[in-house]
């Protein structure tokens, strides 16, 4: 696809007209700096393919961090009408409920600057990281694991990993009630039994950061955030369990694709009708993986707090470790949205996209009712990150959705051929960022130049009115898998 295929709707929105089998247009969010990067892979073709799926409402949407993904583009959003629409694992992703949590502390930069290497060493021992990482807590038997899959973060809190008030600061309060562990294979259960409280690999991380800029002082104060404050971010998902659930249902949906009343535009868009037995089974299993991920991040947060208390010899009230919010960016959920001036229940797929509900939505805890939902948008390990808030405009234009990060500009293989481990480490040292990883290769794959400029991505959504920027943070120390 070329530039001529897109029509510029505004300074930050482009439209891919509905042609051929497309049921709706595509809508791409990008400013002048980012639009050329949309053409570097074939992600626009994926936007077009998603627009061909039955039941899709209004637009096939792509965020400014869009890049090629499995079936759906990463950075893709699609809302499906429930009665006639489909649900697709490709619209959720293999790492179901990969997400980020943002944590405030009572610490200032001066409190930890000289102690960062020690802190990173302690946290690296505290939270297992890397491919196949396991045994942060004792391995669970299948009965215990199914409790996790049903209860999500609530299970972790019930077991002593955090506080009840944490749940108010988690999307969906940390649990999708539709979870059905009986729809999860034994292979998936086996892969997940020893992985709660583990970071995994790839772009997952634990980051210690410092708030550098406040864009809206009143909102920052409402969230108990201020300049030079030390914050933490935790980014991980449902580990091997979620991956296996996705794999199981992609295979099953492909096996049953002859039952569909339309032609799949791409086998990676394997799907089932939402109201079919297979569609309901997938949603029940996907909800289990989402709950596993929320429990996983809850346990990691507790482990990081324990590590910080140990590393700095502090009491909990001195550390002030408090969850600001936890969002997911690989999920499908049933939500009510206004379409053609009517409230309508739809299944919203967000794949590499973050929920960004505006003020007043019933799904938000009381403390966010007037603010809107916090939206966490991390950069790469060497660049800034943002905490934002969802807006009314997001509810009108994007089904309450925003971008989820910077978005890759080169594959992991390309990154490995572009730089060496020593080059990446020297870059981190020059930026005064303390980094530790389970695998040297991961650091090269995750180097800053493999990603878009996160500030350009966030500014696109802010200037389009989808989110409003509240704070910008910079990394001080990063743990990678």
Q: What is the CATH number of the domain that holds 275?
A: 3.90.1860.10
| Residue 5 pLDDT | 84
Is residue 302 part of the annotated active site? The answer reads: no
| Residue 220 pLDDT | 98
Pick the more confident residue, 148 or 132: 148
Set 302, 337, 349, 404: catalytic member? 404
End-to-end CA distance of the chain: 36
| Residue 4 pLDDT | 61
Of 162, 160, 329, the residue nearest 242 (C-alpha): 329
11 pLDDT above the threshold of 90: yes
Is residue 226 within 8 Å of 210, Cβ to Cβ? Answer: no
Of 131, 135, 175, the residue nearest 152 (C-alpha): 175
436 pLDDT above the threshold of 80: yes
Could you read off the pLDDT of 238-274 as tens digits, one per residue? Answer: 999 999 999 999 999 999 999 999 999 999 999 999 9
Alpha carbons 481 and 198: distance in angstroms, whole number: 9
- Going by pLDDT thresholds of 50, 70 and 90, the confidence category of residue 36 is confident
| Residue 1 pLDDT | 54
275 pLDDT above the threshold of 90: yes
Average pLDDT, the chain: 96
Could you read off the pLDDT of 404-421 as tens digits, one per residue? Answer: 999 988 888 899 999 999
Could you read off the pLDDT of 450-479 as tens digits, one per residue? Answer: 999 999 999 999 999 999 999 999 999 999
Could you read off the pLDDT of 75-101 as tens digits, one per residue? Answer: 999 999 999 999 999 999 999 999 999
DSSP 403-435: E-S--BSS-HHHHHTT--HHHHHHHHHHTT-EE
Domain count, the chain: 1
User: Who contacts 364 (Cβ-Cβ below 8 Å, separation ≥6)?
Assistant: 357, 372, 373
User: Who contacts 267 (Cβ-Cβ below 8 Å, separation ≥6)?
Assistant: 254, 257
Range of the domain at 121: 3-480
Region 184-195: mean pLDDT is 97
Percent of the chain whose pLDDT exceeds 90: 93
- Going by pLDDT thresholds of 50, 70 and 90, the confidence category of residue 154 is very high
| Residue 48 pLDDT | 97
- Going by pLDDT thresholds of 50, 70 and 90, the confidence category of residue 2 is low
| Residue 300 pLDDT | 98
Maximum pairwise Cα distance, the chain? 64
| Residue 39 pLDDT | 82
CA atoms within 13 A on the CB side of 344: 20
175 pLDDT above the threshold of 90: yes
- Beta bridge partners, 478, equal 207, 435
Tokens, residue 74: 């990463």
Cα separation values, 243 from 49, 93, 246, Å: 23, 8, 5
Percent of the chain whose pLDDT exceeds 70: 99
425 pLDDT above the threshold of 70: yes
Alpha carbons 458 and 437: distance in angstroms, whole number: 27
Burial class (CB within 10 angstroms; exposed 0-12, middle 13-18, buried 19+) of 259: exposed
Alpha carbons 184 and 164: distance in angstroms, whole number: 28
């Amino acid at each position: 696809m070329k530039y001529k295929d897109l029509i510029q709707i505004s300074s930050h929105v482009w439209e891919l007209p509905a042609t051929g089998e497309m049921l709706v247009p595509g809508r791409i969010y990008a400013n002048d700096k980012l639009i050329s990067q949309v053409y570097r892979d074939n992600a626009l073709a994926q936007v077009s393919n998603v627009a061909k799926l039955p039941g899709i409402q209004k637009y096939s949407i792509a965020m400014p961090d869009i890049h090629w993904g499995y079936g759906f583009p990463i950075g893709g959003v699609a809302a499906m009408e429930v009665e006639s629409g489909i649900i697709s694992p490709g619209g959720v992703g293999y790492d179901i409920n990969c997400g980020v949590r943002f944590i405030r502390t009572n610490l200032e930069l001066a409190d930890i600057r000289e102690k960062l290497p020690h802190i990173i060493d302690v946290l690296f021992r505290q939270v297992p990281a890397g491919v196949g990482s396991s045994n942060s807590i004792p391995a669970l038997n299948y009965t215990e694991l199914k409790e996790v899959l049903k209860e999500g973060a609530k299970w972790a809190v019930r077991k002593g990993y955090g506080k009840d008030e944490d749940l108010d600061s988690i999307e969906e309060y940390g649990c999708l009630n539709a979870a059905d562990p009986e729809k999860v294979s034994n292979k998936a259960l086996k892969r997940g039994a020893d992985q709660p409280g583990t970071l995994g690999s790839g772009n997952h991380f634990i980051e210690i950061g410092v708030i550098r800029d406040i864009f809206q002082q009143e909102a920052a104060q409402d969230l108990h955030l201020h300049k030079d404050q030390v914050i933490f971010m935790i980014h991980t998902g449902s580990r091997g369990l979620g991956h296996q659930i996705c794999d199981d249902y992609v295979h099953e949906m492909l096996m049953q694709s002859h039952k569909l009343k339309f032609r799949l535009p791409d086998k990676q868009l394997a799907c089932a009708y939402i109201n079919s037995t297979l569609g309901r089974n997938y949603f029940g299993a996907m909800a289990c993986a989402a709950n596993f991920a929320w429990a996983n991040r809850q346990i990691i947060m507790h482990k990081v707090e324990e590590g910080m208390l140990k590393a700095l010899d502090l009491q909990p009230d001195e550390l002030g470790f408090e969850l600001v919010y936890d969002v997911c960016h690989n999920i499908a959920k049933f939500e009510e949205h206004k379409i053609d001036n009517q409230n309508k229940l739809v299944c919203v797929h967000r794949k590499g996209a973050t929920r960004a509900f505006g003020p007043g939505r019933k799904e938000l805890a009381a403390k966010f009712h007037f603010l809107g939902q916090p939206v966490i948008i991390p950069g790469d390990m060497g660049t800034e990150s943002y905490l934002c808030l969802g807006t009314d405009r997001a509810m009108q234009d994007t089904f309450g959705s925003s971008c989820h990060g910077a978005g890759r500009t080169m594959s992991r293989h390309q990154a490995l051929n572009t730089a060496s481990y020593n080059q990446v480490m020297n870059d981190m040292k020059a930026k005064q960022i303390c980094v530790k990883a389970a695998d040297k290769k991961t650091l090269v794959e995750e180097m800053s130049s493999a990603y878009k400029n996160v500030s350009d991505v966030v500014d696109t959504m802010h200037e389009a009115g989808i989110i409003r920027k509240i704070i910008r943070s910079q990394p001080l120390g990063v743990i990678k898998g």
